[in-house]
Amino acid sequence: MIEKIVTLSVVFIGLCTATIALYGFKKQQPDKDFTGIWFRVKTWWGMFVIFCFATLFNPIVSLFSIMVLCFYSLKEYFSMMKTRKSDRRLFLWSYLMIPLQFLWIYVGWYGMFIVFIPIYVFLFLPVPRIIGKGTLGFLRSVSFTQWGMMLMVFGLSHLAFYSSASPEYGPNLVLYLIVLTQVNDVVHSIISLYFGKHKVVPTSNPNISWEGFAGAFLFTTIASYVLYPYFTPFGIVYGVLSGVLISVTGYFGSLTVSVLKRDLLIGDKEKFETLQGKYLSRIDSLTYTAPVFFHVTRYFFDFM
C-alpha cells in the first residue's frame, strides 16, 4: 500500500507541475491555441481520480468508470453520423453490448472478452438492421457502427482488463500506459504548435505534424526509460520498447480518429466545432495504445 501511495503522490506532483506550467504558458502567450493541450491535462486529472479510487478503495470503481467512458465515447461517435430512423435499433443494441463486454472482464473470462465484439457482435449487428428495415443505407450504417464498437468499446475496454489479467501489476500498468499516452499527445501538440511545418493530414487535423511525431517519439521513449522501474516489472529492453510502442500506436490512434471525425462531419462545421474537446478528442490515442500494449505485453510476459 505504501508503494502505491508513493506512486500516486509522484503522479499528483507531476500533474500539478504540468497544470501550473500550462497555465503560465497560456498567460504569457495568449495568441497561441493551447485548447487541445488543456483538454489533455484535464483528462489526466480525471483518469488520476479514477485510478486513486480503484487503487485505494475498490477496483470495481475503475471497471464502472471505464464502462461509462465507453458509453459516452460511443454516444459521441454516433452523434456524428448522419443517421436514419432505421438506425436507432442498431444503436440500441450496440449500447446493450457494452455491459456484456464488461461482464466478461468482471468475471475474468478472457476468451469471451477477446472474441465477443470482433466476432459475435460483428455477426449479430446486421440482423436488427435488416429485419423490417430494408437494404437502403445498410452497409454504411452497419459498417460505421461496427467501427465505433471496435474503437470506442473493444479498444478502450482493454483498460479495464489489465487488473483482471494481472491483479498484482495491472493497475500500475494502466497508469503507466495512460501517463505515457497522454505525455506523447501533449508533447506532440506542443511541438506541432511551435515547430510543426510539415502537416500529416492538414485537412483533418492541422495539429498533427511530422515534427510533433518525431519529438513526441523521442520524449516518450525517454519517459518510458525513466518511469518503467517504478510502474512495471519489465527489464530495460522492454521498458524502453514499451515507450516506442505506445508512442507509435498513440500517433496512429490520434491520426485515425481525426480522419474518422472529419469524414463523418463533412459539411457540418458547427457540429465539428461543438464536439472539439469532447470525449473522442481526449481518448483517441488510447483506442489504439490500450489494446496493442496489452496484447504485446501478454505475449511476452507470463504474469498477464
When the pLDDT of each residue in the chain is averaged and rounded to a whole number, the result is: 82
Q: What is the pLDDT of residue 295?
A: 96
Question: Is residue 190 within 8 Å of residue 37, measured between CB atoms?
Answer: yes
In this structure, what DSSP letter does residue 135 have? S
Q: What is the pLDDT of residue 273?
A: 55
Q: What is the pLDDT of residue 168?
A: 84
Helical H segments across the chain, by residue range: 2-28, 35-56, 59-80, 88-107, 110-115, 122-124, 126-130, 138-148, 156-165, 170-195, 210-231, 236-264, 269-274, 279-283, 286-300
Question: Is residue 71 within 8 Å of residue 52, measured between CB atoms?
Answer: no
Q: What is the pLDDT of residue 190?
A: 82
Contacts 24+ apart (CB under 8 A), 38-43: 39/277, 39/281, 39/282, 40/182, 40/185, 40/186, 40/189, 40/282, 41/15, 41/186, 42/282, 43/182, 43/282, 43/283
- Which residues are 6's β-sheet partners? none
58, three cell numbers: 475498490
How big is the chain by its Cα radius of gyration, in Å?
20
In this structure, what DSSP letter does residue 209 have? E
In this structure, what DSSP letter does residue 131 have? T
Q: What is the pLDDT of residue 197?
A: 79
Q: What is the pLDDT of residue 268?
A: 52
**pLDDT tens digit sequence for 120-148:** 999 998 888 887 666 677 888 888 899 99
Q: What is the pLDDT of residue 244?
A: 96
**pLDDT tens digit sequence for 173-190:** 988 898 898 888 888 888
Residue type, position 3, single letter: E
Residue type, position 289, single letter: T
